[in-house]
Structure 1
């Protein structure tokens, strides 16, 4: 079998799909994307296919090593995300060729179902509480929220207490038998984080995510030592080498993104490295159905899995619930907040190519918001 070609599809709300074709009629799908940089990643994918055309798609590890390391410049969000989507597609091809789900090729399932969580929508406390009740109403047992929008480096006492009060309202809405997590999104400084975390401890959040920007990961050890709240991070780390010092810092949850951190192959290695530090894995996935399907395949194969993020209602865009790109979305059906093990070959999904092509005819140009503080300086989104 040989790789004969590829196509890229920039589809709403902010996704990039990749189809890889072979001379035996088997095609695999992946999702290489950096949100807000789809065109840039698409160019990187095209460059990598200068190497892949004519190659045997079954040699996934050999291709991964070559694409990741043969260039003089390595890593980073663009190159690692391009590699990630290709890696997903090659695993999809291999699974389809062998008639097996990817998790079977990774050693077989270690669980029968995967727990998922949903995002809360809303700008006010009342809206977040209403969203939490709605998520519980559809059977989810865990939710995640941003505690606030724009936050200054050292914000006021009023803002600190408002953040805590908002989290307390969500905790009260879901009750003690369900979980909630807080995503600081790198908007807090280390000092602001250490100020807020002790006040959140009585609410027992499942974890606090990205308490500081990834460039300040050297502060994570001090943050983890300052609180009993489990600390999670990793969506903006792109390799096992990026994760190595973070895993040593005392974090509780690693969050590699299978569309950013080198795909299924590298995220499997990151999960294994995390296991040696007693760190759980909760893959980051605010993306489309292909990235979500790839994440699920990993979740069923790694022993230290915690919970899976899913974007089926994330709310970044009015059309974020885009399951119309699948021929059959029942593979993602959840019961009591869990998704059963997919049994289909490869990534376990079938793409509705007509729907994808129709959507790609009007490609998106999504860009993340740009925020500024009251004094006009740039704020972290």
Structure 2
């Protein structure tokens, strides 16, 4: 019987996962108590948050170094708080640089620990898996290939599925999405998502719009839909559009609505990241392109061990979508790939069907499966499904 659960989320995405897990555990254990760090959704589920969620939301090397003394103090205070409270289990949600150290200290005191959302240890710094094995009794992964990595390294693991896959429907309606966005039903649509961060717009915005311009010049009637993640991103995109008159009549610039834009499209152009997973879950063919600062790219080439960077390819373990990286991500190459997709309806339909299959693979009821694993750990039982799931 679970009575006390210590949860530490590091950012808003973790708050969403934590709230789903808390809701599921409360349905099974009405008297359960939660303590640790959570955001608005976890607070609504009843967590006693010892610090604001923003305490751990620090991005970038320089920012982390600046805040390091404060972060270490917070971790020590949480450690003392957990020792005094004596939870049945502690769950770190993402934020591995912070949570794994806390998990290790609690585990050394006999408190079972789990980590929800794998760090990208399968892609770079694979030696970290030894430290993870010392810190956690189980890793809960969102993606199947992550679980395979931990099995190979003999770390107890449960693949729970991805909450986005649970949230998004297996059936999509392209025409309905086009009507909702004010797009024509008959002409082809390309969704262009240059990213949600300023650096992504800086490195990719001009390239993506030049590719769109080439497509529009070659294909009269083509519709380009660009969802802007924030007001600031919208203003940055508007500045880039000013010297591209060929796009004036073709582009619909949206405030948000990225998912609707993907569903409405025939093909998607996007930066690598969660957007690629979302496009896959919308069952839309895509071209993934990404550029980094030269020094960062040089370093990544030497550190990253993965054959692919986009989640659809990583999940499928094969090249389903083109990945154009650094010098390869230039306007003509991007336009050529998108044009080839627009011209081959059979290939598009086959890829949409494959993405629907991958969607089903990830649509597992992540919160319920995570709760199953937590209950098993707290009871000292084997993780459910560990011997056979792939």
TM-score > 0.5 by shorter chain: no
Bigger relative CO (Cα 8 Å, ≥ 6 apart): 1
Pair member with larger Rg: 2
Give the TM-score taking structure 2 as reference length: 0.28
Give the TM-score taking structure 1 as reference length: 0.29
